Amino acid sequence: MTIISVLYMKSSPHVAVVGATGAVGIEMIKTLEKRNFPVGKLTLLASARSVGKKLTFRGQEITVQELTKTSFAGIDIALFSAGGSISREFAPAAVQAGCVVVDNSSAFRMDDQVPLVVPEINAADCRNHKGIIANPNCTTAITLMALYPLHQAFGCKRIFASSYQAVSGTGAKAIAELERQVDQIVTGKPVTREVYPHQIAFNVLPQVDSFLSDGYTKEEMKMQNEGRKIMHHPGFRASVTCVRVPVYRAHSIAISAEFEKPVTVETARAVLSKAPGLQVVDNPAKSEYPLPLYMTEQYDCAVGRLRLDCALDNGLCFWVSGDQLLKGAALNAVQIAEELLKF
């Protein structure tokens, strides 16, 4: 019997959160509690500068410990959200210790040996793990919550999309930067910046992640590359422009999708209304459509602005919003952990 098989028999696994003091790490802890995940013991791990901080879980204070390669003895599931370099350094040590890693970074997403999972889409891929399961990019996950049901029904050939990404996608320092800049502008003080190359308050930045030689950014190509893997759709094509906007939480994406089969607004709405984890908010006459303001701290994503695309054959336009820290990160990771306990 393998170590992994023993894990799946445990009803109350020992769980670790790596990067526990970061924006996503904090949401992971909250999500474990809110979803009543059967945590037998919770260990919080972070860098040396966070050691000694206390975070609350189920009414109890837990002290943050320093992340080392020996931190994973006795731990069954580790939720990683500390960046790609940390994942590459410490995830193999966790696996070696018999732990299953759910990794929120980009480190292993395109590794052929690592499942890339959105549970509403490809939960069964979790069964093929070899110790690591990857969380997708936040914008990709939120987009696919609406796109995949439509792909199942009509066969998606390609999409053209623009994202409207909240600063939470960059982390806690970016949230603080937006707050600081808004205050500086309102009070007439000079605007300072540390995280972004330009002022983000009252501005939009058509750059998320670094640029590639073809002019796209790494973030923009994740939609195509990760989308192909998650949907098991190697022919999927996506041309995307990712934009950072002065919103604290929740990403939004405007999508024009072209399908193999004819699609109508009515048939698309019927498909989307049955999709798990997705709300249809689509009443233009009353100005009702998904808003990041209202999707903040919501587990579901929302889709609206459904209309036939006037420039594509068998095309449909729609707008999706979802909480980047939840479905785009922490919630998806906890849902993957929940899938592990089903085996």
Report which of 172, 134, 129, 177 is spatially closest to residue 19, judged by C-alpha positions: 172
- Same domain assignment for residues 84 and 189: no
pLDDT in tens, 268-300: 999 999 999 999 999 999 999 999 999 999 999
| Helical segments of the chain, H only | 3-9, 23-34, 84-96, 119-122, 138-154, 172-186, 218-231, 265-273, 292-295, 331-340
- Same domain assignment for residues 187 and 228: yes
Domain CATH for 192: 3.30.360.10
pTM of the complete model: 0.94
Residue 127's pLDDT band (cuts 50, 70, 90): very high
Active site residue ranges: 138, 251
What percentage of residues in the chain have a pLDDT greater than 90? 94
Domain CATH for 110: 3.40.50.720
- Same domain assignment for residues 167 and 268: yes
- Same domain assignment for residues 271 and 185: yes
- Same domain assignment for residues 286 and 213: yes
Which structural domain, as residue segments, surrounds residue 42? 3-135+329-340
Neighbouring CB atoms inside 10 A of 42's CB total 20
- Same domain assignment for residues 296 and 311: yes
Cβ atoms of residues 238 and 151 within 8 Å: no
Task: Say how far apart CA 5 and CA 223 lie, in whole Å.
Answer: 33
Amino acid letter, residue 179: E
- The b-or-e profile of 154-166 (16+ CB within 10 A means b, else e) is bebbbbbbbbbbb
pLDDT at residue 10, rounded to an integer: 73
Total domains, the chain = 2
pLDDT at residue 172, rounded to an integer: 81
- Same domain assignment for residues 163 and 203: yes
